[in-house]
Amino acid sequence: MEENKSVLDRFLIKSSLFQNCSSTICGAIAFINLGNVAIEDTSFLENQVSKAGGAIAMMCDNFGRDFNKCSLRIKDTLFLRNWALIEGGAIKWNFYEPQMDNLTFRYNYAGEYGDNIASIAS
């Protein structure tokens, strides 16, 4: 069943609001080894996390060049006043950079690194 993972994991989050979400791992949404995900016309407001990714955390194993096993597209989305104690006030990812188009970042904060966006060195 593992070979069909990218087909099973497809979904779209559209015209949604994530506000005042909090966690120790990810503020609003955590995507872990999830492929073919899209977020469009959505707002992330005042979410917070104790570690990384105040609004979105995208954590993946290193699948090499198989981008379908871990992919995220974010379009026409607002990130306002999201907060992370360590890194990625709005967005944190590790191996696979999300495709990002027409994003607005305002007043996001990270305690150590990346008020808006954080990743690992590549």
- The yes-or-no verdict on residue 65 having pLDDT over 50 is yes
Alpha helix ranges (H) inside 4-116 = 5-8
Full-model pTM = 0.87
User: Which tokens hold the place of 38?
Assistant: 């899209």
Q: Give the Cα separation of 86 and 53 in Å (integer).
A: 9
Answer whether 70's CB lies under 8 Å from 60's CB: yes
User: 22-41 pLDDT, tens per residue?
Assistant: 998 788 999 998 888 999 99
Question: What is the DSSP code (8-state) at residue 8?
Answer: H
